[in-house]
Amino acid sequence: MPNLALETHQLRKVYSGAPQAAVEALDLSVPEGAVFGFLGPNGAGKTTTIGMLLGNVRPTSGSATVLGKPIGDRNTRRSIGYLPEKFQFHEFLTGTEFLDLHGRLYGLDAATRKARIPEALERVGLGEKAKTPLKAFSKGMQQRAGLAQAVLHKPRLVILDEPTSALDPLGRRIVRELIVSLKEEGTTVVLNSHLLSEVETTCDFVAIIRRGRVVKQGTLAELTAQPASVVIELEGISERQLLAAQAFGPVEHTDTWLRVETEATAALVSALVGAGAQVRAVTPARQSLEDAFIRLMEDGTDSGSEVDSQDAR
Ligand SMILES: Nc1ncnc2c1ncn2[C@@H]1O[C@H](COP(=O)(O)OP(=O)(O)OP(=O)(O)O)[C@@H](O)[C@H]1O
């Protein structure tokens, strides 16, 4: 069993005066070293959960540990890097001064700050901007400066709340590469993003929450698997082979592949081979993360789903 970077037990938050809980009975567990996608429609409770994990929002009930320590532990906070969704910048500071300020807040000594600041700026593609005041940065550059701040002190856990919302494709690639290098260094990354294709390429573990509750969590493969379906590629399909497949369940097909709703993959393949098929490949059918997300939101029993297809993209 790997160590857990994050674990919550029945975590709950009701803001004062709110008619319902923002987070309800939340049970999350994130292995150390994972890149964890934390997903949900607007208002699902993601930012509130992150606030509780950082010790900024007091839970109404339940408990949680971060890097093995109860939430709010002061030493643990220094092992966390955080990029909030709305970052407040002191715009008169240059790139270097901004990172120097944050380096001090993280308790880095002068020599470490001097070595790490240019490195962090390079890492987010702002190596040329060390002496430029933040007010002259574009929105995307400011977001990247926020990212540099989140990784400056080499934290064990990095929490990124919508890190690419202001970024162009190049900037998004820089963030993807940054996440990959953090993973290689063994850092746990929590990524809150509505860009599901991005989550799909970077995350290996995902939780989807809705109205403050986890509706599904697991590896990306588990979330996107459709275990009851298999796709079989063939060298052409005869009528006899089609009939053999239809005995196992509903079939979709072209001239070269069959998709069959069945769990009996081995028996299906042997029936096809028995019917003279030349099988080229057998793969469990997968859905995109966006398909899985939309399906989970639509499966909700209550009306007034807050998912907005724009946000889900
Ligand atoms: N400070 C607050 N006081 C009262 N209610 C709040 C507060 N912050 C959030 N909420 C409410 O709690 C619920 C969860 O909000 P939260 O910001 O955690 O969602 P989210 O999943 O991060 O949403 P988004 O994707 O839009 O950023 C919402 O109903 C929101 O209106």
Three-class secondary structure assignment of 155-181: CCEEEEECCCCCCCHHHHHHHHHHHHH
- The three-point CA angle 194-294-307 to 5° equals 60
pTM above 0.90, yes or no: no
Atom of ligand 1 nearest to the CA of 311: 25
The neighbouring-strand residues paired with 281 are 233
> How far is the centre of ligand 1, averaged over its atoms, from the C-alpha of 46 (Å)?
8
Q: Residue 39: pLDDT above 50?
A: yes
Q: Tell whether ligand 1 has an atom less than 6 A from the beta carbon of residue 33.
A: no
Report CA Rg, the chain. 23
C-alpha 77/C-alpha 82 separation (Å) is 10
Residue closest via CA to ligand 1's atom 12 equals: 22
Percent of the chain with pLDDT over 90: 70
The span from the first CA to the last CA of the chain, in angstroms, equals 34
Residue 29, pLDDT above cutoff 80? yes
Q: How far apart are CA 41 and CA 308, in angstroms?
A: 7
Q: What is the pLDDT of residues 102-123, one digit of tens each?
A: 999 999 999 999 999 999 999 9
Q: Which of 281, 273, 274, 275 is nearest to 256 (CA)?
A: 281
pLDDT score, position 300:
62
CA dist 62 to 2, 152, 227, Å?
Answer: 23, 32, 34
Mean of pLDDT values over 172-176: 90
Instruction: Find where tokens 């993360």 sit.
Output: 289
Higher pLDDT, 170 or 96: 96
Check if 143 has its Cβ closer than 6 Å to any atom of ligand 1.
no
Which of 13, 24, 47, 190 most suits a substitution to test ligand 1, by most atoms within 8 Å of the C-beta?
A: 47
Give residue 313's pLDDT.
Answer: 29
Answer whether residue 191 shows pLDDT above 60. Answer: yes
Structure confidence by residue, pLDDT tens digits, 115-166 = 999 999 999 999 999 999 999 998 889 989 999 999 999 999 999 998 888 8
Q: Which ligand 1 atom sits nearest the alpha carbon of residue 85? A: 27
- pLDDT at residue number 227: 61
Asked if residue 1 has pLDDT above 70, the reply is: no
Q: Which residue has the tokens 């970052």?
A: 87
Q: Is the pLDDT of residue 304 over 80?
A: no
237 lines ligand 1 (CB under 6 A): no
Question: What domains does the chain contain, in order, with CATH numbers?
Answer: 4-223 (3.40.50.300), 227-286 (3.30.70)
